[in-house]
Amino acid sequence: MQNLVTKHQFIRKLDLGSLEIFILICQMGSIGGAAKKSHLAISSVSKRVNELEKLTRSKLLTRKSKGVEPTEAGLCLLKHAKDILLSIEYLRINLDDFFLGKNEYVHIYASASVVEQSLAQEIASFAKDSPEVSIDLSQAPSREVIQAVREGYADIGICDSSEIYSDLASRAYRKEELVLIVPTNHPLASHKKLAFSQALDYDLIGVYGSSMIQQLLEKAASSSGHILRQRIKVSSLSALCRMVESGLGIGVIPYGAIHLLSKKGSFCTISLTDEWSKRELMLFAKSFDMLTPAAARFSNYLSH
């Protein structure tokens, strides 16, 4: 059995410049074209490819009549090379921020429900008053938001409070009401309010993944002895609104998101009488007292 290259050997021998040139070769489909664009001799570019093939112990390029194209191993390297160089670019930008005096960061994880409502405006307002602070925002399902806080990837997590997390500190962020939206010509359109069970005879637009709203709807349907009729699933609340506007089904979204995600009168809004439709969004942290000064200021801004 051949010995594999160790992690440390691979890191020490992998040249970032060679990765950049390999990406260029794949984009141009030609070693000569990549050499010309990078202002290097063809022999120098070929040497870098040979060094990559020696390190990876794989043939990375196949010669064709009009140039070269990546092999399966080459495609694998190409994908990871792009990711590596993108991370390097983020590193460069972040270090430039330190040089320019923007040396405070706040890492936030928030659920889609939070992101697609007023969080953007709140971040913009905070950033205007605190230009030295950079905000890193990631959207994720509520369970991943909580996990990110626990594992230290997020200074602050923002999501619903449907479960008790005894290992985390929490603060009230805002209250949220879930409402039913239906096309203007739908049989339910004349209702001002109703129980969610009354909507289960109609096709609902679902949301992919472990969306907390999706989980609430599935639990509510199961409790009333129904299953959700979902012909269409989408990846965001804005896409859900577009589907309802087109008459493809009905859906449940936060009331606060309606004016941001749709035009007035594009569908009808119906209040839900179910207890679960009223919920509280919370800020979560390992300890608010232990937050960085920038994260503490942002947390206080959101909770007041």
The CA-based angle 289-292-295, given to 5 degrees, is 90
**CA-to-CA distance for 26 and 62, rounded, in angstroms?**
11
Q: Are 128 and 81 in contact (CB under 8 A)?
A: no
Structure-token pair, residue 183: 């096309």
How far does CA 280 lie from the centroid of its chain?
A: 22
In tens digits, what is the pLDDT along the chain, a chain of 304 residues? 467 889 999 999 999 999 999 999 999 999 999 999 999 999 999 999 999 999 999 999 999 888 999 999 999 999 999 999 988 988 887 788 777 766 688 999 998 888 888 898 899 999 998 888 889 899 888 889 999 999 999 999 999 877 778 899 999 999 989 999 999 999 999 999 999 999 998 999 988 765 778 888 888 888 888 888 888 988 888 889 999 999 999 999 988 888 777 777 689 999 999 999 998 999 999 999 999 889 999 999 998 7
Span 246-263, pLDDT tens digits: 999 999 998 888 877 777
| Long-range pairs for 226-232: beta carbons < 8 A, 24 or more residues apart | 226/197, 226/200, 228/200, 228/204, 229/200, 229/201, 229/202, 229/203, 229/204, 230/203, 230/204, 230/205, 230/206, 231/203, 232/203, 232/205, 232/206
Q: Which amino acid would we find at residue 25? A: I
Span 189-243, pLDDT tens digits: 999 999 999 999 899 998 876 577 888 888 888 888 888 888 898 888 888 999 9
The CA-based angle 217-222-227, given to 5 degrees, is 80
**CA-to-CA distance for 159 and 174, rounded, in angstroms?**
10
